[in-house]
Structure 1
Amino acid sequence: MFKVAVIGASGLLGRAVVRELAAATPWQVVPTAFRHGGPQQTVLDVRDAQAVNAFVECEAPDAIVLAAAERRPDICEHDPAAARALNVDAVRSIATAARQRGAWVLSISTDYVFDGTQAPYRAGDTPNPLNAYGHSKLEGERALIEASDNALVLRLPLLYGPIVGWHESAVTSLVPAIIASAQPGAQAAPMDAWATRYPTFTPDVAFVIRELLLRCADGEPVRGVAQWSGDEPMTKHDIAVQLAQALGVEARLLAQPTPTDATPRPRDCHLDSGRLEALGMGRRTPFDVAIRAVLDAFMQNPQNGEPNA
């Protein structure tokens, strides 16, 4: 039976991948988590090369989906060594172990490898990251390709999906400020109206990853670099407006026309998804539909937050 290891299965994207594979395939799925594994999760610190080697040797997966990373730009900026340990060194260790096993590896990267000045970006366009996060993810891409010739970098933009806490996504993390702004006498919540993002639903990404794994299982793995993105351009202010509508609150929002983040961020890194679309892959759930499912599920059950969307 085809066997898939999902590394970082307790995170926003990892959970969606495990959920998709469990629902739609007969494969054996081995999920891992850092420190606190669930009843069916293996605890694995991907920064420990010996532990990674032992895990891959023991489980002998046919494919590995690497969804573990340091994704917070501000954290990467303040502690680039810690970011490198997760985003570069761990990728290299996993790719090396996978090569010895003969396993295909899919590693998640980001639109932040680009500087945001010449969107849309094709997979083969020259990267030029603006911050430590983007630099670490670009180095991780190169580490993957150098360590294995049977691997795929999958670049993704801003993700949102079923959550276990508002903080899990830069989309849902806006909710507390939106709700607070609707209280009597509250000040308007400032929201960036400068940078354009393309929010992408994690169950849609999981669907794409399952399609990629199907090709791998059929002996036709996709290698190199590919990209997937939602197709609705939105600023943080646009996202906040839709969140307020979905929440049913009269939010007071203040559009900020210039960047205010301490860590530099690109203005528009729209990823061209043409390579995967040409292979007949992909699914895009409209933002308004998806975000209502996410919010409804979390508000009804904050301990779970997993909608059926």
Structure 2
Amino acid sequence: MKVLITGSNGLLGQHLVPLFVADGQYEVIAAGRGVNRLPSQEGYTYESVNLRTALSVQQLLEKHRPDIIIHTAAMTQVDECERNKDACWDTNVAATRYLIQAAEQYRPFFIFLSTDFVFDGLEGPYREEDPPNPLSYYGASKVAAERMVKNSQLPWAIVRTVLVYGTAIDMQRNNIISWVKNNLQQGKKIKVVDDQWRTPTLVQDLAEGCKLLADKQNKGIYHISGKEMLTPYEMAVQTAQFFKLDTRLIEKVNAKSFTQPAKRPAKTGFIIDKAVQELGYQPRSFAEGLEIVAQEMAVR
């Protein structure tokens, strides 16, 4: 069984590739932009590819003819998507279209990674059948790509997730845990919102959810996230307490305190019953996730 994982240099990709390699039943093709940044270079084939070019995508699929495609590559910085809409559309929508078009003659099982930002945040937490209504261009690009996946000739599944955290090699952006830890260790005050609610997702849990879906090849939409509804402020306080840092440096603010190009939904989060019942998905608590991330940060 051949699996192609796009976005292999990203946070999720860096956890998906070794998970499939360790299984032993999969031939793994990792596709990313530029050089291979995965910690281990063994047990899989790496392809440097620009998914925003139709010909590159076509050549990639002709060469490998995968049985499963897990499409994680995306532009996910919400404000950057708002500022640079053309790049967002090319990366999130056009690239998905090229993959689908190139794949249709081989008919692999196609897993597309999406987001809670397809919702407006007025009535969270959300189930799979709730109607999308994005507030940001990023969310709109993901809705458009989801529609393409649903209308394709491929057997497909859509995995929506929420506020993914964890560690990765050579990642320029911090996760919320390292951001809180680093600032508080330096005695810096931080402002964290307490009027947005999410079900934060440990990256290992998301990777395992995607693997369960690939193994079973269940079709449809699946909400795969953590199970606890938390505000970023609550996450920051738990992080500070875990690392025995001063919680008084954390200032509770509302979202209006920040001027950001993209509007954020107030309350998303997911009801994950479908993934639990149909896939056997079992996410860890945020406290357990903190322990795992802390161990990885200590190693690195």
Report the TM-score, using the length of structure 1 for normalisation.
0.88
Cα deviation code 1:96-136 (max 9, x no counterpart): 21211111110100000000111121111111101111111
Q: CA RMSD in A?
A: 1.8
CA separation of 1:280/1:66 partners in 2, compared to 1, >3 Å: closer, same or farther?
A: closer
Asked if 2 retains the 8 angstrom alpha-carbon contact of 1:174 and 1:240, the reply is yes
Aligned letter for 2:148? A
Instruction: Tell me which amino acid in the other structure corresponds to 1:175.
Output: K
Mapped contact 1:194–1:259 kept (Cα < 8 A): no
* Structure 1 segment 126-205 matched on structure 2, within 5 A: 126-164=131-169, 165=171, 167-180=173-186, 183=187, 186=188, 188-205=189-206
Matched, 1:52 2:57: yes
CA distance in 2, matches of 1:273, 1:232: 11
Q: How far, CA to CA, are the matches of 1:129 and 1:227 in structure 2?
A: 16
Distance 1:119 1:90, change over 3 A: same
Aligned residues: 290
Counterpart residue identity of residue 12, structure 1: L
Asked whether the equivalents of residues 99 and 150 of structure 1 are also in contact (C-alpha less than 8 Å), the reply is no
Q: Compute the displacement of 1:168 (Å).
A: 4.4
Classify 1:147/1:287 alpha carbon distance in 2 versus 1 (closer, same or farther; 3 Å): same
Instruction: Name the SS for the 2:105 alignment partner.
Output: helix
**1:230 aligned partner:** 226
The change in CA–CA distance for 1:11 and 1:168 in structure 2 (over 3 A counts) is: farther
Letter in 2 for 1:236: P
Question: Which residue in the other structure is 1:255 paired with?
Answer: 252
1:70-113 Cα distance to aligned partner (Å, 9 max, x none):
11101001001101111111111111212111111101000000
Q: In the alignment, which residue of structure 2 is the partner of 1:10?
A: 9
CA distance in 2, matches of 1:223, 1:169: 31
Determine the C-alpha separation between the residues in 2 that align with 1:93 and 1:171: 35
Contact 2:161/2:223 (8 A) holds in 1: yes
Output the CA distance in 1 between the equivalents of 2:112 and 2:227. 22
Contiguous gaps of at least 5 residues in structure 2: none
| Structure 2 counterparts to residues 258-297 of structure 1, below 5 A | 258-261=255-258, 262=260, 263-297=262-296
Q: Please list the CA deviations of residues 224-248 of structure 1 after superposition, one character each: whole Å capped at 9, or x if unmatched.
A: 3221121111111111112112222
Question: For structure 1, which segment, 33-42 or 228-237, has the greater mean C-alpha deviation from structure 2 after superposition?
Answer: 33-42
- Counterpart in the other structure of 2:240: 244
Q: 1:113 aligns with which of 98, 118, 140?
A: 118
Q: Deviations over 1:214-272 (max 9, x none)?
A: 12xxxxx3223221121111111111112112222224110013433412100111222
8 Å contact kept, 2:3–2:28: yes
What secondary structure does 2:173 align onto? helix
Corresponding residue SS for 2:104 = helix
Question: Which region of structure 1 is more displaced relative to structure 2, 223-232 or 51-60?
Answer: 223-232
Structure 1 residues without counterparts, runs of 5 or longer: 216-220, 302-309
2:219 alignment partner AA: R
